[in-house]
Amino acid sequence: MHVVVRGEVQGVGYRYTMRMVARDAGVSGWVRNRRDGSVEAEIEGTPEQVDEVVAWMAEGPPGSHVREASVTDAAPTGSRGFDVLPTE
């Protein structure tokens, strides 16, 4: 899945908390800030694992305020692990 969250989502530990949530859920993929102030991620795992992480993304960590979470399908890449990437 490809997810873009908008709102107060940068400068609040969103990406690093998401990395912990993703690892705990057992998904692989990546997360990064975007220059427009949003956070973007790709998540790969079982439907249940992905749903768990997407649900967390719609809420975010304490101190964030997620206004919108856009979710679209993405082709699996077979990636391993979960990374925080540099800003796009």
Could you give the residue numbers annotated as active site? 15, 33
Beta bridge partners of 43: 29
54: number of Cβ within 10 Å: 18
CA gap 70, 23 in Å, rounded: 21
Q: Which residues contact 25 (CB under 8 A, 6 or more apart)?
A: 45, 49, 52, 53
